[in-house]
Amino acid sequence: MVCILAIETSCDETAAAVVRDRHIESNVIASQISAHKPFGGVVPEVASRAHLQNINGVIATAMAEAHCDWAAIDAIAVTCAPGLVGSLLIGVTAAKTLAMVHHKPLVGIHHLEGHLYASYLAEPTLEPPFLCLLVSGGHTSLIGVYGCGQYQLFGQTRDDAAGEAYDKVARLLGLGYPGGPMMDRLAQSGNPDAFTLPEGNISLANGKVHPYDSSFSGLKTAVARLVSQLRDTHGDNLPVADIAASFQKAVAHALTKRAIAAAVDHGFTTLAIGGGVAANSGLRQYLTAAATPLGIRLIFPPLRLCTDNAAMIGCAAADHVRQGERSPLSLGAKSRLSL
Ligand code: KG4
Ligand code: ZN
């Protein structure tokens, strides 16, 4: 049994958790949504300040809720990349300080590996290999998981992430921040066939389409063009539900097609979904309809584990600690790092 105190501050959530192997003892998140809402998106400077204000309280609450004292902690884990570097630094500095003061090993964790591990928290008996579709505000990736630290990137977005596209289109429609959940709600009362939108294929030199990579910036531009055309005829009375439903259909279809193709081509019988966009009702419907007849098992972790949290970081760290891995106290934060 490995007990981890984990810290996650890569973007706009200040989070700490205590995790025993694949079991959550506490999972505390201080959301910054209200701080960023007036700006329509995450402002890095505002995020760093909020992390600084929240970090000590969040860690203390995570320890208290787990009824945990320092003697029970085997290691301190922290997200060290990728993310907003000013935000990451707050978590990394807190983790290094605690590791030094309490004489605990330090383990730096890649944020995407954390998202992959949310599936283990949701299904503790899950074993690799499995395929993971990671769809968040910063990433859209199809990753084969073969073991702890053994990953193969099959496909990714060439530009905007799926969640980023949701947020940008929501802003275009005047829906506010974060746009994904609002677009999803609207889409459910709209007609997905009202408008035909591109699915963001990537053309290859041989004239074929890349089977797993995607692009969402063209889709966003197509919606911008559509909105400007519709304004000419409808003024401000835009058919927002129909636009949201058509957009959702394009995104969900594009992601489903690629994930199922990668699963079939590489023989995966389990497909786990991670990241904030895993909450999307359209994506869930499309994936379920495509995976069920093929006998592919789907894992949708609960939303609180799909969006940024520290429990997923702790779960990943427990496996690394079991493998004897440690990070030096010189651990730094990196805005970019491949998995
Ligand atoms: O994983 P996450 O919390 O943070 C990142 O690591 O990026 O994902 C946040 C993203 C945002 O872009 C948000 O709009 C999107 O997930 N999102 C959704 C839904 N819920 C959250 N997108 C579409 N439909 C949803 N229901
Ligand atoms: Zn994330």
Which atom from ligand 1 is nearest to the alpha carbon of 308? 3
What is the per-residue pLDDT for 177? 82
What DSSP line would sit under 78-114, residue for residue?
EEEESS-HHHHHHHHHHHHHHHHHTT--EEEEEHHHH
> What's the CA-to-centroid distance between 25 and ligand 2, angstroms?
21
Residues of each annotated binding site: 111, 115, 134-138, 167, 180, 184, 280, 308
Find the 97 Cα to ligand 1 centroid distance in Å: 31
Closest listed ligand to the CA of 167: 1
Q: Two tokens at 193?
A: 């066939």
Is position 174 within any domain? Answer: yes
Q: Which domain holds residue 313?
A: 3-119+306-322
Q: What distance, in Å, lies between the first and last C-alpha atoms of the chain?
A: 26
**pLDDT on residue 271:** 98
Q: What is the mean pLDDT of residues 86-108?
A: 98
Domain shared by 171 and 312, yes or no: no
Residue 30: which CATH number? 3.30.420.40
Q: Enter the ipTM.
A: 0.98
pLDDT of res. 329: 97
Based on the fold, state whether residues 138 and 284 are members of the same structural domain: yes
CA of 139 to the centre of ligand 2 (A): 8
Cβ < 6 A, ligand 1 pocket = 11, 136-138, 163, 166-167, 178-181, 184, 275-277, 279-280, 307-308
The answer on 204 and 156 residing in a single domain is yes
Task: Please report the atom of ligand 1 found closest to the CA of residue 307.
Answer: 3
- Number of domains composing the chain: 2
Mutate-to-test residue for ligand 1 from 9, 167, 277, highest number of ligand atoms within 8 A of CB: 277
For residue 135, the SS3 value is: strand
Contact between residue 143 and residue 114 where contact means Cβ atoms under 8 Å apart:
no
How many A from CA of 97 to the centre of ligand 2?
24
* Residue 188 covered by a domain: yes
226 domain residue, yes or no: yes
Least confident range of 101-110, 186-195, 200-209, 305-314: 200-209
Q: Is residue 338 part of a domain?
A: no
Where does the pLDDT of residue 37 fall: very low under 50, low under 70, confident under 90, or very high at 90 and above? confident
Q: Decide: 142 and 132 in contact? Cβ < 8 Å.
A: yes
Distance 275 CA to ligand 1 centre (A): 7
Q: Do the Cβ atoms of 85 and 336 come closer than 8 Å?
A: no
Report CA(120)–ligand 2 centroid distance (Å): 16
Do 172 and 191 sit in the same domain of this protein?
A: yes
- Residue 236 — pLDDT band, cuts 50, 70, 90? confident
pLDDT of residue 42: 86
In a domain? residue 248: yes
- Residue that has been written with the tokens 């935000």 in this structure: 87
Which ligand 1 atom minimizes the distance to the CA of 282?
A: 24
Q: For position 33, what pLDDT does the model report?
A: 86
**For ligand 1, atom 20: residue with the closest CA:** 181
pLDDT band at 40 (very low <50, low <70, confident <90, very high): confident
Instruction: Kindly state whether residues 280 and 148 are assigned to the same domain.
Output: yes
- 299 plus 310 within the same structural domain: no
Output the pLDDT for position 41: 82
User: What is the predicted pLDDT for the residue at 183?
Assistant: 97
**Ligand 1 atom nearest 281 alpha carbon:** 26
Residues 53 and 153 in one domain: no
Give me the mean pLDDT over the 20-40 stretch: 92
pLDDT at 188 over 90: yes
Q: What CA–CA distances, in Å, run from 216 to 142, 161, 194, 263? A: 15, 7, 19, 21
Residue 56 lies inside a defined structural domain of this protein: yes
Task: Give the tens place of pLDDT for each residue, 118-173.
Answer: 999 999 999 999 999 999 998 999 999 999 999 999 999 999 999 999 999 999 99
pLDDT digits (tens, 9 = 90+) for 239-283: 999 999 999 999 999 999 999 999 999 999 999 999 999 999 999
Tokens at 49, concatenated: 């300040």
Answer yes or no: is pLDDT of 34 > 90. no
Residues 202, 55, single domain; the answer is no
Residues 6+ apart with CB under 8 A from 159: 215, 216, 217
Alpha helices in the chain (DSSP H): 33-36, 44-65, 85-101, 111-122, 162-172, 179-187, 217-234, 240-266, 281-291, 303-306, 311-322
pLDDT band of 32, cuts 50, 70, 90: confident
Answer whether 29's CB lies under 8 Å from 13's CB. Answer: yes
285 confidence band (pLDDT: 50, 70, 90): very high
Mean pLDDT of the chain: 96
Task: Please compute the mean of the pLDDT values over residues 58-70 and round it to a whole number.
Answer: 97
pLDDT band at 286 (very low <50, low <70, confident <90, very high): very high
Asked if residue 176 and residue 90 are part of one domain, the reply reads: no
pLDDT reading at 3 higher than 90: yes
Same domain flag for 312 and 171: no
Q: Which ligand is nearest to the CA of 114?
A: 2
The predicted pLDDT at position 38 comes to: 86
Residues 266, 200 share a domain:
yes
Percent share of the chain, pLDDT over 70: 100
For residues 136 and 256, membership in a common domain is answered with yes
